[in-house]
Structure 1
């Protein structure tokens, strides 16, 4: 009887650990996704500022 209880507890602990690991992996993936979004937005902002600067230069030339 006590052995089956121990086995159940061990299984529950293993399941909890697996769930925690899955959650950690999901959080890491979310973080990576947001880092990529941030880099893309930074690049977009950089190019928009460059285009804006070029437009200002062309306006002065015309």
Structure 2
């Protein structure tokens, strides 16, 4: 019984780590994209008021 539980826990932790790693890579990609295309950030930020400097 304990072996099956540990195996399930191992794969569950692997899955969550994979999900967090993919989300982190996605956020890093968006950050790099916004840094590279700073001209587009001015047109991007008015559509998202939460991205203003005061809120960050």
> Which TM class, normalised by the smaller chain length?
0.5 to 0.7
| TM-score scaled by length of structure 1 | 0.60
User: Which is helix-richer, 1 or 2?
Assistant: 1
- Which structure: larger Rg? 1
Structure 1 stretches of 4+ moved >3 Å: none
Aligned residues: 39
Give RMSD over aligned pairs: 0.6
| TM-score scaled by length of structure 2 | 0.66
Gaps of 5+ in 1: 1-17
Gaps of 5+ in 2: 40-56
